[in-house]
Amino acid sequence: MSDNKPQDHYHDPLLSRLYDSQNPWGPDCDFFLSLIQDAPVPRKVLDVGCGTGLLTAAFANLGYDTTGIDPASDMLNIARHRQSGDKVSWVQSDAAQFKSDQLFDLIILSGHAFQVFLTDQAIHDALSNLKALLSPNGKIAFDTRNLDAKAWERWIPKETTQTFVLPANSQHQKDQKIEIWHDLGNVERYGDGRIVEYFTLYRTMPVQENNVLSSGQSLPPPTKTEAKIRFLSHNELLAHLDKAGLVLEHLFGDWNQTPLQKDSREMIVVARN
């Protein structure tokens, strides 16, 4: 493997193409969609850190006036071309810098996007800006992994290795077989919580009928990408909501809306203006 500095995980073109295979529609998407599904249209929805736009486009398909923002251009390029993507306003921006002349009835950060805010100041800047974009009765909802569950301890090759096949596209004339895994980097204390560094490594291999390398053929070296995310304690989370002027409405521990417990894997927030 090359000794070069790892690439930024969130701006790797191949990982952007692989994102939907790794993160298909699931109970998290059902939860976020349910927060406004019974409301009459048009209602305005803002999806922050929308990625490839799977959930964003679902809101738009139901008739909601939907905006999706993400700092990663490769992700947005995929989002624009998905079904109902033409019904969404796509903007390359982050949570703290995004500006709009309209107010939103629902703002979501799904897929643990909230955890990319590494410092107290970054969290405050993001939440304060998003609060200013809420309508008077608007809600903000997001998920962040529960610190007590220590999810990072399972981010090792043995626990995370998967194989996918990416179909050919305009840039790649043949299908691509991708072997991908995670590896843990530094885990540092920050306040009551942790800043966790992790690496995503992948290698691209030819698709063969028997999945066996021919004689003398060696595995290609993996590409290594890097990311850091923050795990907040329960008390820190509540303090940040309060500082931003947001009122906690619900705090769930799973997508079935079970109240948060110490061993819950998620902390799922629904807050209001």
Report how far residue 264's alpha carbon sits from residue 94's, in angstroms, rounded to the nearest whole number.
Answer: 28
104/161 same-domain check: no
Could you report the per-residue pLDDT of 186-199, keeping only the tens digit for each? Answer: 999 999 999 999 99
- pLDDT, position 47: 98
116/166 same-domain check: no
What mean pLDDT is reported for the chain? Answer: 92
129/242 same-domain check: yes
Q: Are 184 and 159 in contact (CB under 8 A)?
A: no
Written as one letter, the residue type at 260 is: L
Could you report the per-residue pLDDT of 80-136, keeping only the tens digit for each? Answer: 999 999 999 999 999 999 999 999 999 999 999 999 999 999 999 999 999 999 999
Residue 216 clears pLDDT 80, i.e. is over it: no
Residue 214 lies in a domain: yes
φ and ψ of 222, to 5 deg: -75, 155
Written as one letter, the residue type at 258 is: T
38/97 same-domain check: yes
242/124 same-domain check: yes
How is 184-210 classified by DSSP, letter by letter?
EEEEEEETTEEEEEEEEEEEEEE--TT
Residue 143 clears pLDDT 80, i.e. is over it: yes
Q: Stretch 16-33: mean pLDDT, rounded? A: 96
200/249 same-domain check: no
Higher pLDDT, 11 or 258: 258
Task: Residue 97: give the domain boundaries.
Answer: 10-147+233-272
Higher pLDDT, 37 or 259: 259
User: Where on the phi/psi map is residue 206: left (φ > 0), alpha (ψ -120 to 50), or beta?
Assistant: beta
105/177 same-domain check: no
Q: Are 47 and 91 in contact (CB under 8 A)?
A: no
The residue among 198, 215, 231 that closes a domain is 231
- pLDDT, position 37: 76
Residue 83, CA distances (Å) to 23, 53, 78 in order: 17, 10, 10
pLDDT confidence bin for 2, thresholds 50/70/90? very low
- pLDDT, position 116: 98
Residue 25 lies in a domain: yes
CATH number at residue 133: 3.40.50.150
Residue 132 lies in a domain: yes
Residue 4 lies in a domain: no
pTM over 0.85: yes
Report how far residue 175's alpha carbon sits from residue 172's, in angstroms, rounded to the nearest whole number.
Answer: 7
- pLDDT, position 176: 86
255/222 same-domain check: no
Q: Please count the structural domains in the chain.
A: 2
216/263 same-domain check: no
Residue 1 lies in a domain: no
Q: Stretch 219-224: mean pLDDT, rounded? A: 90
218/237 same-domain check: no
Could you report the per-residue pLDDT of 49-73, keeping only the tens digit for each? Answer: 999 999 999 999 999 999 999 999 9
Q: Stretch 34-59: mean pLDDT, rounded? A: 92
247/209 same-domain check: no
Residue 2 lies in a domain: no
Q: Are 148 and 121 in contact (CB under 8 A)?
A: no
Going by C-beta distance under 8 Å and a sequence separation of 6 or more, which residues neighbour residue 222? 1, 201, 202, 203
Residue 249 lies in a domain: yes
95/194 same-domain check: no
Please report, rounded to a whole number, the percentage of residues in the chain having pLDDT higher than 90.
81
- pLDDT, position 149: 97
Residue 192 lies in a domain: yes
Q: Stretch 154-173: mean pLDDT, rounded? A: 86
Report how far residue 80's alpha carbon sits from residue 88's, in angstroms, rounded to the nearest whole number.
Answer: 8
